[in-house]
């Protein structure tokens, strides 16, 4: 031993501490089980980081604590330590090794980013729309709209994502990939789900009052179940009853982002029992929520404000244009004139207290 005694002890202590820290990090940074093809390489990247973090942290702490304890000044010892004037070899080593590690991780991340964003064969396109504070999904090949994202297992998916207002972010932790939605741009995200199951999409970009409610169900299903989903969801607006169409509009236009059906108060008043309800307005007057008032509340939202709620929130969504666009689209696709607001009111009439 002799001269090598301290380095050997420090080396052994470093390895033991690094192993402990590695398990600690894995336990601390809780992650649900990976469920997409893109998740596996990202999980490896996590592990590589944990190993490097555990090793470096252990190395620095062990050397420091070891020196503090073992080489502490003893009582009565007034001698000076040795004077050291630099060590060229050491300085070169501690410049070159960290450079290689940092650049190495950079290259690793770059290659991996290329891999997880790479185009896949036979991609299925799903259009994703995010807005304050709800999501909706369209399957252009099947002419299906949905408030939940249903995808077949092991099928490469290309999500074409749009925001109708501010920045949002698509994040399903099990898939490990995350992508911002930027207003005015199509943002792509590729996912190949590998595990059948139910997941939850959450917006990961703070986007206003009800950001934390901006959730959607994600279901990874078998190919057969997926085809059944498309059959069950394929519809023409004009085939539905007025009330059912109103309910569909409630989701398609994103009214569900602010208006609950179960009495809970979100950014806007609940729709439970809204029809013919007596509303107290912020100027102290009351009004009965009849057809005319409801139509006005949608077309000219800032004219009458329900007490306890904020003006400007609904008008910022520009429903006048969006409803007109939707009516024009239905007329174009189905050849029928639909009054979206009348159907929304018919739906509200079904929502008793």
Q: Which residues are at the interface with Cu ion (CB under 5 A)? A: 168, 203, 207, 214
Interaction partner, residue 214 (ligand HEC, Cu ion, none; CB < 5-8 Å by kind):
Cu ion
Task: Kindly tell me which residue out of 19, 167, 309, 326 binds ligand HEC, with binding defined by CB under 6 A.
Answer: 309
Interaction partner, residue 309 (ligand HEC, Cu ion, none; CB < 5-8 Å by kind):
ligand HEC
Residue 207 binds ligand HEC (CB under 6 A): no
Interaction partner, residue 168 (Cu ion, ligand HEC, none; CB < 5-8 Å by kind):
Cu ion
Residue 294 binds ligand HEC (CB under 6 A): yes
Residue 62 binds ligand HEC (CB under 6 A): no
* Alpha-carbon gap, residue 309 to 263, rounded angstroms: 15
Touching ligand HEC, residues 237-266 (CB under 6 A): 253-255, 257-259
Find how far residue 133's CA is from the centre of its chain. Answer: 12
Output the smallest distance, CB 267 to ligand HEC, in A: 5
Do the beta carbons of residue 134 and residue 256 sit within 8 Å?
A: yes
Output the smallest distance, CB 269 to ligand HEC, in A: 4
The SS3 assignment for 353 reads coil
Output the smallest distance, CB 329 to ligand HEC, in A: 15
Closer by beta carbon to ligand HEC, 217 or else 279: 279
Contacts of 199 (CB under 8 A, 6+ apart): 35, 172, 173, 174, 175, 217, 218, 219, 220
Q: CB-based burial of residue 48 (10 Å sphere; 0-12 exposed, 13-18 middle, 19+ buried)?
A: middle
Output the smallest distance, CB 257 to Cu ion, in A: 9
Output the smallest distance, CB 314 to ligand HEC, in A: 4
Residue 344 binds ligand HEC (CB under 6 A): yes
Query: Helices marked H in the chain — which ranges?
Result: 5-28, 39-70, 88-117, 223-233, 242-252, 291-299, 319-334, 340-349
Interaction partner, residue 207 (Cu ion, ligand HEC, none; CB < 5-8 Å by kind):
Cu ion
Closer by beta carbon to ligand HEC, 17 or else 317: 317
Tokens, residue 287: 């009004």
Residue 283: CB atoms within 10 A of its CB come to 8
Do the beta carbons of residue 150 and residue 176 sit within 8 Å?
A: no
Output the smallest distance, CB 160 to Cu ion, in A: 17
Closer by beta carbon to ligand HEC, 187 or else 253: 253
Closer by beta carbon to ligand HEC, 48 or else 306: 306
Q: Which residues bind ligand HEC (CB under 6 A)?
A: 132, 253-255, 257-259, 267-269, 274, 279, 289, 294, 297-298, 301, 305-306, 309-310, 313-314, 317, 319, 344
């Amino acid at each position: 031993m002799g001269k090598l005694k301290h380095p050997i002890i420090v080396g052994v202590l470093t390895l033991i501490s690094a192993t402990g820290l590695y398990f600690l990090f894995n336990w601390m940074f809780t992650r649900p089980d990976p469920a997409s093809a893109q998740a596996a390489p990202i999980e490896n990247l996590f592990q590589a980081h944990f190993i490097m973090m555990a090793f470096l942290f252990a190395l620095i702490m062990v050397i420091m604590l070891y020196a503090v304890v073992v080489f502490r000044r003893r009582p009565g010892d007034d001698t000076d330590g040795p004077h050291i004037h630099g060590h060229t070899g050491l300085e070169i080593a501690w410049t070159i090794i960290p450079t290689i590690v940092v650049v190495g991780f950079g290259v690793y991340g770059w290659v991996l980013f290329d891999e997880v964003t790479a185009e896949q064969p036979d991609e299925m396109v799903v259009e994703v729309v995010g807005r304050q504070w709800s999501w909706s999904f369209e399957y252009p090949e099947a002419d299906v709209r949905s408030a939940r994202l249903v995808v077949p297992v092991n099928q490469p998916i290309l999500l074409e994502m749009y925001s109708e207002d501010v920045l949002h972010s698509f994040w399903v932790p099990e898939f490990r990939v995350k992508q911002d939605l930027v207003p005015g741009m199509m943002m792509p995200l590729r996912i190949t789900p590998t595990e059948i199951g139910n997941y939850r999409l959450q917006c990961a970009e703070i986007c206003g009052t009800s950001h934390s409610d901006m959730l959607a169900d994600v279901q990874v299903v078998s190919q057969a179940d997926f085809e059944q989903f498309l059959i069950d969801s394929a519809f023409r607006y004009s085939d539905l009853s007025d009330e059912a169409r109103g309910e569909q509009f409630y989701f398609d236009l994103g009214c569900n982002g602010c208006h609950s059906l179960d009495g809970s108060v979100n950014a806007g008043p609940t729709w439970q029992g809204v029809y013919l309800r007596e509303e107290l307005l912020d100027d102290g007057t009351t009004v009965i929520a009849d057809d005319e008032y409801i139509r006005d509340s949608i077309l000219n939202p800032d004219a009458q404000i329900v007490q306890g709620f904020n003006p400007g929130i609904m008008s910022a969504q520009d429903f006048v244009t969006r409803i007109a666009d939707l009516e024009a689209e239905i007329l174009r696709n189905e050849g029928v004139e639909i009054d979206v607001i009348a159907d929304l009111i018919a739906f509200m009439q079904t929502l008793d207290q």
